[in-house]
Structure 1
Amino acid sequence: MIISPSPETLDKLIRHQIHNLFLLDDIENYTISKSLAKALSKTELCFRKSSNKYYSRNGQAFFSIYHSGQYCIFLYFLSRQIFLDDPRNSVTADKVYYLNKSLNGVDLFYEIEMPEIFHLDHPVGSVMGRASYGNNFTFAQLCTVGNNHGVFPTIGENVKMLSGAKILGNSTIGDNVIVSANTYIKDTNIPSNSLVFGSSPNLIIKPRSNS
């Protein structure tokens, strides 16, 4: 993967930003640097599957540390990797998570297992809760995935949430579903290959091609 301007700058930038906000001790600095390579590997896999022209260059995955969407995805993978490497480092993972939230205005908590391949587009104001997410999940700004009475949704593959969409509670979203802008789904199952809009329980569901 091409990293612009460099992996060394990325390492310094992350630790500098976190230190300015929350302070870092020597152990935390080491923990972040130690988890960096694995997080970059996961970021590369995710970016290679993106159709966004800004995520590739000369046939390779491309990561600009000054592209907010790319940096947002990377910071999620880094915070989660720190936690997976050693749950005792949860405070360090918290700091990376809060850096992501502060810079990008998105809530992607490291204990939530996002899929290997997910995409976001101007995700300011979005909150991704403890759902089950299928690969190639995409969300935009002001989207919410959350619980109702402690039950979270199950989301299939190739699901796209447009601006302001919400999926809550005991909902199962099939594969290849587009959740239209400002749609509100609560405790409702949506079949695969659908376009859905409106609000539960009065949703309108239309079939769409799975191509």
Structure 2
Amino acid sequence: MLLCDFDDKFILDLLFRQLQIFKLTKSEEELIELLFDDTKRRVEYCFINTNNKYYNKDGEAFFNPFHSGQWCIFLYYLSNTIFKSNNENKIVCDKIYYLNRMLNSCDLFYEVILPEIFHLDHPLGTVIGRGIFSDYFSFSQGCTVGNNKGIFPKFGKRVKMLSNSKVIGDSIIGDNVIISANSYIKDINIPNNSIVFGSSPNLVIKNIKSEDLIKYWT
């Protein structure tokens, strides 16, 4: 169950008031209401698998619409859920995506397929492009996932991008990888269980023990 201090009516009213800047239509409101429960289920699954004290309460997933990171994730899942239901509804998806950019300074386009479990922490200035992502992907402020000559990177499970890090082009990032602050990876593969420093082509890649990885995920 997704716990929240506010009922669905309050959350939808808040959302519709925010979206009125884009002149939300009645049919668009009805579509959002139709897919609201599906979006909440995705949010619940994501949050219950997140090791963050603000996302869980008494062993249940907890949603606070006034926590900007949680609202950012909710808006992404809502726009993506609507898009997947019928990609002819792009205008309302555009409005929700645009709202997310305005409120959170984070570019999470609804056609980008983020995993069912991901986390963000102060994501201002981050742009997430059309990479291939796996569960427990995590990013912070100023991060970029982008293409080089039309090729986007691929990410294994439990990849954590620290502030101002970038992954570009034909790169395969393994499982359990920490991309350190200000690192720049371009067209290079990173092995499992690694921490990465520096800039391509002069990266420093160090093995990190699985027991030492735990502190990065709490």
Using the size of structure 1 for normalisation, the TM-score is: 0.98
Q: CA deviation at 1:210?
A: 2.4
SS of residue matched to 2:98: helix
Alpha-carbon distance in structure 2 between the residues aligned to 1:180 and 1:4: 36
- Two-structure CA RMSD over aligned residues (Å): 0.7
Show CA shifts across 1:180-203 (max 9, x none): 000000000000000001000000
Task: Tell me how far 1:178 sits from its aligned partner.
Answer: 0.1
Q: Kindly report which structure 2 residues correspond to 1:26-65, keeping only aligned pairs within 5 A, or say none.
A: 26-65=26-65
- 1:16 maps to 2:50: no
Structure 2 counterpart of 1:16, one-letter code:
R
Distance 1:210 1:18 in 2: 44
Q: How does 1:156-167 map to 2 (within 5 A)?
A: 156-167=156-167
**What SS class does the counterpart of residue 78 from structure 2 fall into?**
helix
Confirm or deny: 8 A CA contact 1:106 1:123 kept in the other structure. yes
Q: Aligned partners of 2:5 and 2:149: how far apart in 1?
A: 44
Identity %: 50
> What CA distance in whole angstroms lies between the structure 2 residues aligned with 1:177 and 1:210?
10
CA distance in 2, matches of 1:26, 1:53: 37
Which segments of structure 1 move beyond 3 Å, counting only runs of 4 or more? none
SS in 2 for 1:119: strand
Query: Deviation per CA, 1:39-85, whole angstroms, max 9, x where unpaired?
Result: 11000000000110011111110000000000100100000011111
Aligned residue for 1:142? 142
Q: Is the 8 A contact 1:136 1:158 kept in 2?
A: yes
Q: Quick check: 1:15–1:32 contact (8 Å CA) kept in 2?
A: no
Structure 2 counterparts to residues 93-112 of structure 1, below 5 A: 93-112=93-112
- List runs of 5+ in structure 1 lacking aligned partners: none
Is the aligned partner of 1:200 residue 2:200? yes
C-alpha distance in 1, partners of 2:83/2:148? Answer: 27
| Code of the aligned partner of 1:6 | D
Letter of the 1:17 counterpart: Q
In the alignment, the residues of structure 2 paired with residue 81 and residue 67 of structure 1 have an alpha-carbon distance, to the nearest angstrom, of 21
Cα distance between partner residues in 1 of 2:88 and 2:4: 30
Contact in 2 for aligned 1:106/1:125 (Cα 8 Å): yes
Counterpart residue number, 1:170:
170
1:70 maps to: 70
Structure 1 CA distance for aligned equivalents of residues 95 and 82 of structure 2: 11
Residue 32 of structure 1 deviates from its aligned partner by 1.0
In the alignment, what sits opposite 1:188? 188
Distance across 2 between alignment mates of 1:79 and 1:128: 15
Aligned length: 210
Answer yes or no: is the 8 Å Cα contact 1:162–1:181 preserved in 2: yes
Match in the other structure for 2:214: none
